[in-house]
Structure 1
Amino acid sequence: MNKQKTLAEVVTLWKADKKQYVKKSSLSAYMLLIENHLLPTFGEQKMIEEAQVQTFVFQKLEQGLSQKTIKDILIVLKMLLKFGAKNKWLNHLPFDIQFPTEREKQNLEVLSRSNQKKMMDYIQEHFTFRNLGVYICLSSGMRIGEICALTWEDIDTDNAIIKVSKTIQRIYVVEEHLRKTELILDTPKTKNSIREIPMNRELLKMLKPVKKIVNPSFFVLTNDAKPTEPRTYRSYYKNLMKNLNMPDLKFHGLRHSFATRCIESKCDYKTVSVLLGHSNITTTLNLYVHPNLEQKRKTIDQMFKGLR
């Protein structure tokens, strides 16, 4: 029988195995959760029981972590325990963890129609490459890493299409307890994120003359061979919003605004899901399809109309 190992020892062996199968960015995200949350609590243990994990969950909730983050940590813990059990280094009994009922609904932050129009009008009148990125995100729902990675060759003005096939992100690399960050250009989040997004008339009109004179291999936001990274662009966007007296909306709110406008315009949900690059339509439905008061009233009226 294999000698029992601590979770910390299993982590080292699991990491060496896992790096053969997953993207560098995924491994980086796993390692950050392991280093920050799992090793300080369970690192020296050779067996982890359900009661200990349940206590850990309540502690993390008290520290202010969201249920989603804690569930992500538990997914990584289960991967480690399964790997340890498979190799007979750890004893692992499956656990069933309970979470308190979430009573508050998260409200999506989106631009109002008037603010969105104001912003898009401003960018059309004050063209810069960085402003253009905001306009593209409002017109396409692209993520910040995707817009930072967009090059001019990804913009097909002949067919009025934007091709999304890569993303830029800064990841944490944990090597032998030494932490550093690294900027990487990689394929997007999931295979569904590789997609083609049609351009509307206004965006095409802005891009056609520019496309004729730029270097195809240059990045759109910098019009240079060197890209800008998401945190730098996020900071630029924040200042732009402040200068325009806009609400303090996170950059991801531009994506939410695009999706919300699509749903408001009665677009079919499957197409919206494909445009956003969601891995499945359920994500789109859960995030964006919530009937407003007017729709609820209409439903009640229709129901009573049928009774008459």
Structure 2
Amino acid sequence: MPRKGLNISKCHKGKYEYWRGRYEKGIDRNGRMTYGEIYAKTYEEVEERLVKVQNEINANTFIEPTKITVAQWLDRWLKTYKDTSLTQSTYISYKGIIENHITPAIGGLRLQILSLDMLQDFFNKKAAEINPRTKKPLSVKTLKNMKTMLVTAFKQAIISDIIHRNPAEYIALPKAEKKEMRVLTREEQRRLLEYVKTSDSRFKVIVFIALCTGMREGEISALTWNDIDFERGVITVNKTLMRVQKKDGKGTEIKITPPKSRKSDRVIPMQMALISELKKHYKNITAEKLLAGSAYDKKCYVVCNELGGYVEPRQIQKIFKGFTAAVKLDGVNFHALRHTFATRAVESGMDIKTLSTLLGHADIQTTLNRYAHTTDEHARNEIEKMSVLF
């Protein structure tokens, strides 16, 4: 016997029987009542679902069922809500995560039935999965980026009234193994500087810029002479240059954009050694500019080719590799110069807040997490100076 007040009826389709429940969704713009329907094989199942829907409608928590899948929603979210707000590199990164990892595994699931347990199982499998190309599992950083993307995408789904809770918010990630940073010893730094000082390479200035400022490769690539103020003795960091995949996936292109975070836009005082090297470099560049005439790049990059054009980050890394090979420095990439700058700064007594500002970190905790070992060593040395008192 149907429960009083519930709109449930038996239906027939050929030889098949099923039950249908109707519920009031609300009033449309023409003032007419609109209805939703629930179908099931048994009366009891329709009744249970219909009561649940009506309770949710009364509590104002009801979301109309939709068949949109995880893959369909992520595609819509990326194109509709993130096309203009993400940097191109982040957009391409998210697109790759969706296409290569999420869609093949859980993309076909309906978004509304996706649960934390389903996502946790997916992440656990991804953490253990070995990439056939790299022969390694996904890095914790990639898993973290994947979680961040899903949390953001599902927040928008809540705003868009597709789901009422975020199933990605409490995904547990494996603990990242802390990698040992490669920092040049004072003796290695001395050897490298002695070599580049006597080198006739037009690119030796990149070593001085990195060791004296801690700037990133992309920031050095984007640096122009307008960013150098010899009178004030400062460098303004306000852009970064990188090669990124095009949004349509067809090839790559060079992009010059603001730095990676608001605090990455900064002013760095120059040491006298750097000012001296930059002035010598500027003199050489000016001579080339006069010879090239109108063919010279009007942007006037500091690190440039013979026509003033940019030198992209991967070229800087390749050039630096030649320098390290010449002085037999093993396991040193260009980013190690940034770590070396930070380490020397702390050793010289610079406070972490100032260092964080100079490095352009988003917050001081990032600086502390990376250079805490250096501050510990510095504190130990300072404590030892007190031993004469005992």
TM category (shorter chain) comes to 0.7 to 0.9
Q: Could you state the TM-score of these two structures normalised by the residue count of structure 2? A: 0.70
Partner of 1:239: 322
| Counterpart among 332, 354, 360 of residue 249 in structure 1 | 332
Distance 1:200 1:6 in 2: 57
Aligned match of 1:34: 98
- Map 1:40-51; keep pairs closer than 5 Å: 40-47=104-111, 48-51=114-117
Q: Is the alpha carbon distance of 1:244 and 1:165 closer, same or farther for their aligned partners in structure 2, counting shifts above 3 Å?
A: same
Post-superposition CA distance 1:221-264 (Å, at most 9, x none) = 22434212212221221222112201221221110010011011
Counterpart Cα distance in 2 of 1:121 and 1:301: 31
Tell me which stretches of 4 or more aligned residues in structure 1 moved more than 3 Å. Answer: 88-95, 99-102, 291-303
Asked if the contact 1:154–1:163 (Cα under 8 Å) also holds between the matched residues in 2, the reply is: yes
1:55-86 deviations in Å (ceiling 9; x for gaps): 22222222322222211111101122222233
TM-score by length of 1: 0.87
Secondary structure, counterpart of 1:246 in structure 2: coil
- Output the amino acid matched with 1:18: K
Could you tell me how far apart the structure 2 residues matched to 1:293 and 1:271 are?
A: 18
Q: Distance in 1 between matches of 2:84 and 2:377?
A: 51
CA contact (8 A) 2:233 2:275 kept: yes
Q: After superposition, give the CA deviation of every residue in 1:140-191 in whole Å (9 maximum; x if it has no partner).
A: 100010111111222222222111111111122343xx44322111111011
CA distance, structure 2, for counterparts of residue 93 and residue 294 of structure 1: 45
Asked whether the 8 Å contact 2:208–2:277 carries over to 1, the reply is no
Partner-residue secondary structure (3-state), 1:99: coil
SS at 2:355 equivalent: helix
Instruction: Note if contact 2:182-2:331 (Cα within 8 Å) is conserved in structure 1.
Output: no
2:125 to 48, 59, 70: 59
Counterpart amino acid of 1:194?
A: D
Measured at CA, do residues 289 and 127 of structure 1 come closer, stay the same or move farther in structure 2, by a change above 3 Å?
Answer: farther
The match for 1:200 among 252, 271, 274 is 271
Conservation of the 8 A alpha-carbon contact between 1:238 and 1:248? no
Which has the larger Rg? 2
Between the aligned partners of 1:99 and 1:26, the Cα distance in structure 2 is 21
Structure 2 residue runs without a partner (length 5+): 1-63, 131-136, 290-297
Structure 1: unaligned runs, 5 residues or longer: none
Q: Distance in 2 between matches of 1:58 and 1:183?
A: 36
Q: Secondary structure of 1:171's partner?
A: strand
Distance, in Å, in 1 between the alignment partners of 2:213 and 2:372 is: 18
d(CA) in 1 for partners of 2:331 and 2:219? 22
Distance 2:233 2:382 in 1: 37
Q: What SS does the corresponding residue of 2:302 show, helix, strand or coil? A: coil
- How far did 1:4 drift? 2.8
Confirm or deny that 1:138 pairs with 2:219: no
Do the aligned residues in 2 keep the contact of 1:193 with 1:279 (CA within 8 Å)? yes
Paired AA for residue 125 in structure 2: Q
How far did 1:283 drift? 0.8
For the aligned residues, what is the CA RMSD?
Answer: 2.7
CA shift for structure 1 position 101: 4.6
CA distance in 2 between counterparts of 1:129 and 1:301 reads 43
* Structure with more contact order per residue of length (Cα contacts < 8 Å, sep ≥ 6): 1
Q: Which moved more, 1:65-74 or 1:178-187?
A: 178-187
User: What is the one-letter code of the residue matched to 1:184?
Assistant: K
Aligned residue in 1 for 2:33: none
